[in-house]
Chain A
Amino acid sequence: AQSVSQHNHHVILSEAASLELGCNYSYGGTVNLFWYVQYPGQHLQLLLKYFSGDPLVKGIKGFEAEFIKSKFSFNLRKPSVQWSDTAEYFCAAQTGGFKTIFGAGTRLFVKA
């Protein structure tokens, strides 16, 4: 069955630290990949997406993600986190039609 795995459920960082959140998907065909973010008390919203082309995609607020096909991975990165990045992050994969499979989420807490 298709699935999305996120490596960490909880991450705690100090401000200015670098961030990398792992995401792996299990599907051998063409896949669209997403990272969504949910800030405390807010709607889930799109952070960035990959459909094709350059495997390094940039999103809002300085986030980027790299698609590595050989590793079935789509890791999220940010060079220097801020307190305002405290949120829950979800990796998601879309393999056909509009059905999207979400990972379990990673809760990031950034200490000021």
Chain B
Amino acid sequence: DVKVTQSSRYLVKRTGEKVFLECVQDMDHENMFWYRQDPGLGLRLIYFSYDVKMKEKGDIPEGYSVSREKKERFSLILESASTNQTSMYLCATVVGDYEQYFGPGTRLTVT
């Protein structure tokens, strides 16, 4: 069974702080994704990575960066958190026929 874990379920940060969200998958998959989920907007792709040190911008990359130093770990970084980045953040990896496996999510609140 594929396992995708995220470092925190809930996180509260202050405006201007640097925030790190970590995601780890245990199946040696190449492709990993970061989404944010907002009511009425569904899931929107922030960044994805198709191999170590390789990354591509998604639909809403502004205000975010990512790091993939090891295959199993994909980090999302908020350089200077803002209140409009309050959201649920989901990490996913791809298995077999393009099916995505999601982590439990991190609910980030920026005050």
A98/B40 contact (C-beta < 8 A), A46-B99, A49-B97, A49-B99 known: no
Judged by a CB distance under 8 angstroms, whether B90 is at the interface is yes
Residue of B nearest to A97 (CB): B50
A100 and B100 contacting across the interface, CB-CB below 8 Å: yes
Judged by a CB distance under 8 angstroms, whether B102 is at the interface is yes
Task: Tell me, in angstroms, the Cα distance from A12 to B89 when the chains sit together.
Answer: 27
For the A-B complex, the count of residue pairs with Cβ-Cβ distances under 8 Å equals 50
Q: How many residues on chain B are close to A (CB under 8 Å)?
A: 23
> Which positions 27-80 of chain A face chain B at CB distance < 8 Å?
32, 34, 36, 43-46, 49, 51
Question: Whole-angstrom distance from the CB of B24 to the nearest CB of chain A?
Answer: 15
Residues of B within 8 A of A109 (CB): none
Task: Tell me, in angstroms, the Cα distance from A32 to B50 when the chains sit together.
Answer: 19
Residues of B within 8 A of A4 (CB): 42
Which size bracket describes the interface of A in this complex? 20 to 34
> Which positions 1-59 of chain B face chain A at CB distance < 8 Å?
31, 33, 35, 40-45, 48, 50, 58
Judged by a CB distance under 8 angstroms, whether A104 is at the interface is yes
Question: Whole-angstrom distance from the CB of B83 to the nearest CB of chain A?
Answer: 22
Residue of A nearest to B43 (CB): A102
B42 and A94 contacting across the interface, CB-CB below 8 Å: no
B90 and A44 contacting across the interface, CB-CB below 8 Å: yes
